Structure 1
Amino acid sequence: MHAMQYEITLPADYDMGIIRKRVADRSHLTDAFPGLALKAYLVRERAAADSAGPGARATVNQYAPFYLWRTAEGMNSFLWGPGFRGLSADFGRPLVRHWLGAGHLPGPAVDSAPATATRRTEAIPDGADPGEAVERALAALPDDPGLHSAAVAVDPSRWQLLHLALWHGPAPEQASGTRYQVLHVSRPELDRLPAGRHW
């Protein structure tokens, strides 16, 4: 499994209806994309409470799709193909973050459409055993009836852990990290992604 995300930060006065229409018009193109386990079409909307969490408001407009790739071939096919080429033509080529998948958990609500997502990163301290850090992260994956799915991944160039969770309804208050609205989820091969640790 490979995790991938790019974040396109948009002007404060940007009409996010343009992004919503883009997703409505084009998201079907990844609904059967080979090698893709899951693509979550994520947004943050400036001053929207559901993008920021309880009592907070998002400070930016952002389009930030997140991917879980079942195969490297699928990821490469997207990045070097017409989909990413079209996005780059419209918004400029974004920086693409990439993490090695360490584990995946389908939640009780995996068959429901997720409405929100949380993403958190944390450093693996110098001197800490990366394997132990990953094991702890996997053991801490949320046990919540509203969980659609969760994943843990690692960026070994920065020794950084990534935690992603998709939620059927509002993310629980205790779920820390950046919060997003989910506009659509493509999940062509999610059922083929092994649950648990990926090594």
Structure 2
Amino acid sequence: MIIAHYSHRLPANYDTGLIRTRAKERGPLWNTIPELYFKAFLLRESGRYGAIANSYSSLYLWRQDDAFRDFLVSGRYKVVTDAFGRADIQTRFALDARKGHAHHARFVVREDLAIPLDADLSAVFASEVERNREVAEQSTTVATAVGVDTQNWTFTRIVLLEHEPAASEAGTSYEVLHLAKPLLDTLPFANAA
């Protein structure tokens, strides 16, 4: 599995209603994409949920790297570049992904953590997978994933939530404008082995 995330910073005076409309119109086009667990259309608005600027982003969980490649070469990403330019697409190899108990994702929280240089990698990988499964057990979790960036040695934790994140919650919060979830229900349930 591959986690892919990109973001576009928007001007301070940008009408975020245009982004909401875009997500409403384009979101359903992703509801049946093969090999896609989910795609979240995300918005951060200045002054809300800790954001100091406006940004629009997309977050994907792909079943296989071939599906991510097909997204790039089929012209689906061209729609984005035509409207917003080319963003850096951050990719992570997913170590674990789970479906939670909740059903309606309203927010996403992303947290990036450095892996210490002297860490026992097998132990920290196992610990992150276990933590991911525990987060999936929480009643407000729709889905959760943890990925690793082996170039910069960081973990990326992704949680799709039904409730508004608490101000004290670690990570960056995003409002979900649309969640396409073709294969979300095929992810292992929170406590599945």
TM-score when scaled to structure 2? 0.91
Residue among 123, 131, 134 paired with 2:122: 131
Give % identity: 30
Q: Unpaired runs of 5+ in structure 1?
A: 53-57
SS of the residue aligned with 1:140?
A: helix
1:74 and 2:71 equivalent? Answer: no
For the aligned residues, what is the CA RMSD?
A: 1.6
**Aligned residue in 2 for 1:140:** 131
The within-5 A match list for 1:63-102 is 63-102=56-95
Q: 1:195: Cα distance to partner?
A: 5.2
- 8 Å contact 1:35–1:72 — kept in the other structure? no
Separation in structure 2 between the aligned mates of residue 44 and residue 150 of structure 1, nearest angstrom:
20
Q: 1:139: Cα distance to partner?
A: 2.0
Separation in structure 1 between the aligned mates of residue 75 and residue 28 of structure 2, nearest angstrom:
14
Deviations 1:96-121 (A, max 9, x none): 00000100121111xx2211110000
Distance change (3 Å), C-alpha of 1:144 and 1:173: farther
The within-5 A match list for 1:16-35 is 16-35=16-35
Q: 1:174: Cα distance to partner?
A: 5.0
What amino acid sits opposite 1:63 in the alignment? Y
Q: 1:134: Cα distance to partner?
A: 1.9
Q: Unpaired runs of 5+ in structure 2?
A: none
What amino acid sits opposite 2:56 in the alignment? Y
Separation in structure 2 between the aligned mates of residue 145 and residue 184 of structure 1, nearest angstrom:
21
Deviations 1:41-91 (A, max 9, x none): 11100112xx32xxxxx1010111110001212111111222201110111
Once the two structures are overlaid, the 10-residue window that deviates more, 138-147 or 99-108, is 138-147
